[in-house]
Amino acid sequence: MYYETVFIVNPDISQENTEIMTNELVDKIEKSGARIVKREYWGSRPLAYSIQKRNRGHYSLLVTDGAPDIAKMIDETLRLDERVMRFLTVSITEPSDEPSPLLRRRVSASETKTEDKPAEDKVEAKAEGATEPAEEKAEEVVAEKNEDKVEEKAEG
């Protein structure tokens, strides 16, 4: 049976210490005979509501494969750890190989930042005669004004 556990660690704990704590939990899970299917660190994120007077937390996801007593052991371990503010363990039928929605959103946001065209590409496109939509619209407005002036002169 597969179990998905999401836990939120106190933001006063550094990211490195959060990783160390997660590694200790993973070692404990593996020693008890279960295996880790997926492990993700979602980063420091804002909370929907304050917990223990904190507005942020380090989010982590673990997907394990093992007996039901593994889920109880994970819950007990996280409940006793003072650094963990909240956690939730649910059973799932099949783990997904894809990244979680939060991780996908984070990766796609970082990709869009790096996909911006360099200035050199824009200069080359202008040299080839390609125009951007805003430039095309500006050219249309100028052409319409010129037509209006020509009509005014013809009438006058």
Tokens 């556990």 locate to: 5
CATH assignment, 2-114: 3.30.70.60
Amino acid identity of residue 100, one-letter, is: S
Q: 111-149: per-residue pLDDT in tens?
A: 776 665 554 454 444 445 544 555 555 566 555 656 655
Mean pLDDT of the chain: 80
User: Distance (Å, rounded) from C-alpha 28 to C-alpha 76?
Assistant: 12
Q: 34-52: per-residue pLDDT in tens?
A: 999 999 999 999 999 999 9
Q: What is the pTM of this model?
A: 0.67
User: Distance (Å, rounded) from C-alpha 24 to C-alpha 22?
Assistant: 5
**Contact between residue 36 and residue 30 where contact means Cβ atoms under 8 Å apart:** yes
User: Distance (Å, rounded) from C-alpha 41 to C-alpha 95?
Assistant: 17
CA distances from 63 to 94, 95, 125, 151 (A): 10, 7, 48, 73
**Contact between residue 37 and residue 2 where contact means Cβ atoms under 8 Å apart:** yes
